[in-house]
Each structure stands twice: as structure tokens, then as C-alpha cells.
Chains A and B, each alone.
Chain A
Amino acid sequence: MSLRRYVLKRLLLTIPILLGVTAITFAMVHLQPGDVIDVLVGFNDVSAETERQLREQYNLDEPIYVQYVLWLRDAMVLDFGQSFISERSVGEAISTRLPYTVLLGILALVISIAIGVPAGIVAAVKKGQQADEVSRVAALLGVATPNFWLGLMLLLVFSVQLGWFRTIPPSDVAVYDPALLKFMVLPAITLGTASAALLMRIMRSSMLEELNKEYVKMARAKGLPERTVITKHVVRNSLISVVTVAALQIAFIVDGAVVIEQVFSVRGIGRLLLGAILQRDFPIIQASVLMIGVTIVFANLVADIIYSYLDPRIRY
């Protein structure tokens, strides 16, 4: 199968996956206790008639599967409706916030790779030595530190005490504005460290595995300098498993963004989603989760494509 056909097949497969994701979210949101009508009327006691009208207005009077089909029908043409609470367009709410979360996610991924991969290589090469031990402890700390706490600590030290960064994002600036990019460094570090720790451990073990293989002995035997052996052969082969994990990390990063965006007051999808869940604002929850689902599915697809580049033997 050619790569093109494989990608096409994978793209087709995303359809049932996204259907599943949205259907499950839909069901879960409707199963949670608490009623959006209560939130809408501020928990006031309204007449049955008013309540009926409100339910009708938002299609909440239909059976749940009909509601889902109606939502799906509109979502197909990217019409996500209006927020129940603010009555603003959901599509607009998502599109104004998405760039912030994407920026945060990319920076976090870059940081986790930039730290994780080289540290993993060093740990593997210096196996059993001090550098390896240090990296082991650092990785443990990185995984074990709740990013909420880490975010607050970074904020206190680097923003409040040292004054190197702002404590809240600059307002009235574009997403690519240097001031915003600078501000995003701390949230990205917070978000990237746990992933960096994991990547580092994966990189290390996968390097160690490769280092024991015959072809490495062969390369060494034919007199290649150790540096070339590591960079040209071992690292490249070890990266395959790392790429898988890195792609999966995107899911963790999206996850973490919900918390980090609270701590650093970033107006991203995570903050939008959290607020919507608390208010039972279904249209926003649905659209945000769909967005996150799409991101993760595509991240995995990209990982598969990178495989075939890294290892020409892989054919789909």
C-alpha cells in the first residue's frame, strides 16, 4: 500500500472515531446531574411553560439521540450553534481561543522534545554514571510534580519575585506578538516538563536497546567514531518509539492545557471547556471536545507518516 493510500484510509477511519468521541461526550454531558435550564434562569423558579419554551428553543425537548443527530447535522457544516449561556456563536468562541491553545501546545511539545531527547541520549550513553542518575531523579520529579503546582511556583519565582515575565498575558496583542510569545514560555515549560521526563526515559531505554544490537557492533568494528555511531545509527533508530510517545504526548498536553490555562489566565480552549462544563453549556463542550478529538487523531496520523520517513523499511 502506498503512503498516500494509507493516509486516505486513516483519514476515513477518523470518521467513526470522531463519531464515537462526540457520541460518548454527548451522552456523558447529558448524564451528569444538573440542568442547563437551571443555569439559564439563574436557578429561579420559572413556570412550566417558560421551561418548555426554553427546552424547545435549544432542542432539549427531543430524545437524546435526536438531539445528537441534530447537533451532528449542524456540525457537519461547521455550525456549532450558540452558547446557551452567553448566546454568542460557539464557532467564534472556539476560533478566537484555538490559536492560544495551539501556540501553547506547540511550544510545550518543542520544549519537551528539546529537553527529553538530548537528555535521554546522554543518559543512555553515560549509563550508570552520574549523569544517568541525575536524569533519572529529574525524570521522576518531572513526572511526579503536579503541573498546577509547578505553574504556580514558576509564576511566583520568575514572574513575581524576579519579574522576568508578566503574570498575566499582555492584552490587545496578536497571537504571534513577541510579548505574548515571551509570556508563553512559563506555561509551556510547565506543560512540557512532564512530557519531557517521559520522553527522556523512553529515549534512554530505546537507545540502550539499539546499542546492544549487532549493527552497532558492526559499525564500531569497522572503525566508525563513536559519535557517528550514536548520531547516525542509534539515535535515528531509537527515535521511532520516541515519535509514537511524542504523538501520544499531544493528548497529555491538550489535557494539561485545561489546568495550565487557568493558572496563567490564557484564554485557550481548555479554559473555555472548563467554564462550559461547570455551566452545562453543551454546545461549547461538544465543539471543544470535537476539536480536541480532531487534534489527537491527526497527531497520531502525523506520527505514522514520520515513521516511514525515519525507517524506510516501514511500508503501509
Chain B
Amino acid sequence: MARNDSQDNVNQNRRRLLQAMGAAGAAGLAGCSGLGGNGNGNGDGGGLPDDLQQQLSDGFEEAGFETPWEGEIITNENPERVQWAQVIQEELNATEFFDIELNQFEWTTYVGRVLAEDSAEDEALVCLGWSAGWDPDAYIRNLFHSDQHTPACCNVNHFTDEEIDNLIDDGTSTTDIDERAGIYEDAQEAIVQASPMSFVRYGEEIDAFRSAAVEGWQTYPINGGKYYSVYAPWAGVHAEVTGDNAGEEGELIATFSADVANTDPTEQNDTTSTMSTNLVYEGLMGVDYDGEPQMVLAEDLEQVSDTEYVFTLREGVQFHPSEEFDFDGREMTAEDVKFSWERYLGTTREADVGDWLGVPDTPEGESADSFEGTLTVEDDYTLRVELPEVYAPFQFTVGDGLIVPREAGEDGPLDLSTEPIGTGPYRFDDYDPDELWRLSAFDDHWYDGSGDVPADQPIETATFRIITESSAREAALRGGDVDLAQPPQGSVSALQEESDFTVTSRIAGGFDMFIYPMNAETPFQSQDVRLAVNRLINRPGIVSAVYDGIGTPAYSPISPLAGSFTSEEFNQRMGDEYSRYYGAE
């Protein structure tokens, strides 16, 4: 598939936004009282501190709007998102400046509106979630860089700031970690000051399992990589099931919250599909649970220059055999790696490889026939990669290009969207639409037991039951029919208190955000108004009441998960300086 623009990251990164929109659960509405305007008893705006009152008046005057301004907040039907939108709505309407409605939309309709080409002219305040990962670039480029305006990607209100553009570009072309960290600190502060949106909360990745059934489970902070935890020798992580598990001996029964839509790594557009093949496909590298890049199918990586890398591949890596396609499996070579990466060109997942290998500019209506960078196969186990320009996060993202056999080419016998075939520790076993997805241990997996993880997969079968309703997932966990599930947020604290269950969690790579229509005919054209409203958002209250204490108030874009580039302290400082809730004073 072709694109009519030259911006990298577009495809993959829109997915980041969509992933963050799906999560649903049930939280107690009761907790909301005592928040927002009610909590401060300032029904007439008289309760606002003078400086805030003044800032809003100045802003309204500057933008040329009468009070109260009649507008709307829009959100999709995610229950928690609706609740925090209500909290903000109440808070705004408690001032004399706003008269705001809240409107909810069904998912597809909502995304269509928010990501429309003319989204910047839309006068609505937008509630959204964003999901990213270990590298800081993914948190800011797509939302704030001026070449990411909709429909290219996700800069919804068409925020434009040359200084910030430069900082974002410097961030990926600077390889020195400390220097990069400085750049991202500057970029974050500049963004918070300009305030094109408010950051509300960093989420948490949560797993719950039956204590008697599962051992050694760790939560991977990035949703799409959740099931690495079954067996990831490259990360030094594996889990086991005991005799008290729900299924057969050696079988882990976990859950998916949606059906598996596609199993071809270049066509997967949703988190469940990605999770379904976590254990089936592998990349040359991976990022472990501490955020450190690790070798997976590569044995060694040599950086020859700023833009040139040489991978030495592991020997004896086998592809899974397939009866369905009459494929016996065989050893992976550098040709397969080259084939696999080039296969991403022109697909919806193009950015997974295009981010670092570069997608050339093409005239409207035409697609590129090759990436900008070059891949040279030197021998079966050596691959030289030349990038078109410096790409600092290379080691974090090269593993996104998943390795599949050459036989999956257009003329080849394999169809990966019917049956996924990779080199991973588990191979495809069974799929019943809307019912279950099953993987079984691959005996010829390359790992030889040289690390802390045993050479043979302790879990022989991994079965994923497809349960769309979050309360039904919790019931299945409590009823002992599944071993591991993602519970609704409202039930997490109850599960934590019961010894039958273990809950593991990590701060996630993403945040909830509240986007201002700063380029539409609204008072939010004024920076004063945006900065003042930023202080009307009671983030700690939202975290405790709406999310039952799960998550962290966010005052800056980059999640503390990307620990080399930001920190909880930095986030707190941004809160104190720019976003501190007025009610807390």
C-alpha cells in the first residue's frame, strides 16, 4: 500500500493512538463526588484564585471571546475516559468562563472525527490515550511535530512550533545518551509551556493470576509484548504452571479481550493480534523488562559508524514446520532477515522498519519500491545494515522487524495470515474464532539453556481464551477456568487483597491526554487559557477516584518508563511549575 507523504512513523504510530483507545473496565462512579468543581464548592467561579481568574480573563480578552464560552468535550465510550472527561467538564463549568457539554461517540466514528484531515478546525476538546514504549521519541514526535498534522498522523490540533520540531529531530539524530536526555528534557518543558494539550495520567500494565497455578510471571510494561513473559530466554524471564492450573498438565490458560484479527506481522493493526504472535515471531533484538536492548536472533551487533551496523546472526535457528502448507521448516539465514524487513514496505506496518531504514519520498499515488537504507547479505550469518541517517533509537526498534521465512513471499507456499510461522519458542497450534487461540512449545527453538532460563519451555501449551467482557474475564479467573487475565481496573484492589490471586503491575508506556482546539475559533487559541485550564485538572483526584488509584498523574509527555530520559522527579517538577491543581493550594 502506498502513502502520499514522506513522513516516517506514520503508520505504526497511528496504531499507538488506537491501542490506547480500546481498554475498558468498570470503575465506581461514586468515587467521583468530591472532585472537580464540587470538591471546591466554587460554583460561581468566585472560588478561583485571583491569578487563575486573571489569567483566564486575559486569555479570553486576547482571543476575543465572551464568557461563558459554549463548547463540547468529546470522548469515545471508554468508561474511565468518560468519567475523567466529566470531572474536567464539571471543573470548567464551575468557573464563569465555560459552558461545556460532554458528548460520547462510538469508537470508529470517534477516531474518524479526531483523525480527520480538518481535525484542527474542530472546536471540540478531545480526550484520548496514547501508547508508546521504551524510547522517548515515540511519546512526542507523532503528537507535536509539525509534519505529523492529521491526516499524516496524530497531531490532532495541528500544533506547530519550530523550536520543538528541531528538538524532536535532534533527539533521534543524537546518539549520546546523556545528550539525548538533555534534549528530551528541553523538548518536554517546551511542550508543557506551550500547552497544546494537558497530560492527565500515565497508565499501568496489570496482570492478575491464580497464585496456586502460575509461578514466575512478570508484567511486561508494553501491552503488545504481554506474553513474552511465558518464555523469553533473551530477557531472562519465564513462567511455569503448577499442578493446580486450569487446563491440562503444562498448559497455561490466559485470556484475550478480542478476537485475533490477523497473524501476519505486516498486517496486524490491533494489540490482540500482536499479542497472539508474541511467542511465535522473533526479531534480531528485543528490549528486556528493564528497558535494556538484548540480542535475540542476532548473536552480536557491531556498530561500524553512526549509520552502519553489522549483525552476526545465531547459527542453527529453525523456522517452525507447517503441515498445512507442507513446509518442513529449515534454518534461518541472513537472506530471510533481508526478505522479512523488505516485506514491510508498503504495508500498514511499514513504519516498524521504515522508522530506521527510511521510506523515500514518492509522488502522490505512487509507492516506493525499496527502503532508503541498504541491507547487504555478506554470508548466511552476516548482515550489513546501512541507515540513510543517524537513528538513535535503532537498538530499541530494530527488533520490531520480525523475521519470517522467505517462503512467505508472494510466490511462496506460506500464508502468514492463515498460520503464523516464525522462529519463536512457541508454534501455532489451534484457532477457533471467538473461542480460543492455542500455541504449543517448539522443540527445535534455538535457545540452549545457557542462561538462567531452562532450555525446554516449562509451559508446553499456551491457550488464550477470547473473552470480550472484562467482568466475565474476572469471573473466569475467580472461577478457576483461566489461570491469568487482565482484570477490570475497578477489581484490581480487591484481587490484590486476596491471597488466592497475585497482581503484578508496571507503569505503562503511555498517557491519557486532553487536547485543546488551539487552531480553531476558540478561546484556546490563547496560551493563557490553555495554561489556566491545565491547572483546573485535578490529576491526583482522577487517578484515585476514576482509576481506583491505578496509574500516576502525568504532567509531561514522556512516561517515566523511559527511565534514561526522564524521571518521576522531572514529571513532578513540571507539575509543580505549570500544572499544579489550583484546589491543592
Q: Which of A97, A160, A265 contacts B467 (CB 8 A)?
A: A265
If A42-B18, A168-B476, A262-B469 touch, does A278 touch B106 (CB 8 Å cutoff)?
Answer: yes
Task: List A contacts of B152 (CB < 8 A).
Answer: 45
8 Å CB contacts to B: which residues of A229-281? Answer: 262-265, 267, 271-272, 275, 278-280
CB of B56 within 8 Å of the partner chain = no
The answer to whether A47 touches B367 (Cβ under 8 A) is: yes
The answer to whether B112 touches A42 (Cβ under 8 A) is: no
Q: How large is the interface on B (under 10, 10 to 19, 20 to 34, 35 or more residues)?
A: 35 or more
Q: Which of A38, A155, A272 contacts B472 (CB 8 A)?
A: A155
Task: List A contacts of B10 (CB < 8 A).
Answer: 44-45
Task: List B contacts of A47 (CB < 8 A).
Answer: 1-4, 364-367
Q: Which of B108, B112, B433 contacts A279 (CB 8 A)?
A: B108
Task: List B contacts of A14 (CB < 8 A).
Answer: none
If A33-B109, A50-B2, A278-B107 touch, does A45 touch B348 (CB 8 Å cutoff)?
Answer: no
Task: List A contacts of B435 (CB < 8 A).
Answer: 169, 171, 267
Task: List B contacts of A34 (CB < 8 A).
Answer: 106, 108-109, 111-112
8 Å CB contacts to A: which residues of B485-509? Answer: none
Q: How large is the interface on A (under 10, 10 to 19, 20 to 34, 35 or more residues)?
A: 35 or more
Task: List A contacts of B269 (CB < 8 A).
Answer: 41-42
CA distance A52 to B422 in the complex (A): 33
8 Å CB contacts to A: which residues of B183-240? Answer: none
The answer to whether B472 touches A264 (Cβ under 8 A) is: yes
CA distance A214 to B473 in the complex (A): 58
Looking across the interface, which residue of chain B has its beta carbon closest to that of A156? B475
The answer to whether B365 touches A49 (Cβ under 8 A) is: yes
9-residue interface stretch from A81-89, A109-117, A197-205: A81-89
If A45-B5, A46-B2 touch, does A267 touch B433 (CB 8 Å cutoff)?
Answer: yes
Task: List A contacts of B365 (CB < 8 A).
Answer: 47-49
If A33-B109, A278-B107 touch, does A263 touch B469 (CB 8 Å cutoff)?
Answer: yes
Task: Kindly name the residue among B111, B259, B433, B471 whose own CB sees the greatest number of chain A CB atoms within 10 A.
Answer: B433
The answer to whether B348 touches A41 (Cβ under 8 A) is: yes
The answer to whether A265 touches B108 (Cβ under 8 A) is: no
The answer to whether A167 touches B1 (Cβ under 8 A) is: no
Looking across the interface, which residue of chain B has its beta carbon closest to that of A38? B112
8 Å CB contacts to B: which residues of A58-95? Answer: 85-88, 93
The answer to whether B481 touches A168 (Cβ under 8 A) is: yes
CB of B153 within 8 Å of the partner chain = yes
The answer to whether A159 touches B475 (Cβ under 8 A) is: yes
8 Å CB contacts to B: which residues of A141-166? Answer: 152, 155-156, 159-160, 163, 166
Q: What's the nearest-Cβ distance from chain A to residue B410, in Å? A: 16
Q: What's the nearest-Cβ distance from chain A to residue B242, in Å? A: 19
Task: List A contacts of B113 (CB < 8 A).
Answer: 33
The answer to whether A42 touches B15 (Cβ under 8 A) is: yes
Task: List B contacts of A35 (CB < 8 A).
Answer: 108, 112
If A34-B112, A46-B3 touch, does A168 touch B468 (CB 8 Å cutoff)?
Answer: no
CB of B83 within 8 Å of the partner chain = no
The answer to whether A44 touches B348 (Cβ under 8 A) is: yes
A-B complex: 9 closest residue pairs judged by Cβ atoms: A42-B269, A34-B108, A167-B479, A267-B434, A47-B2, A47-B4, A167-B476, A33-B109, A49-B365
Residues of A participating in the B interface, judged by any CB pair closer than 8 Å = 32-35, 38-39, 41-50, 85-88, 93, 96-97, 152, 155-156, 159-160, 163, 166-169, 171-172, 262-265, 267, 271-272, 275, 278-280
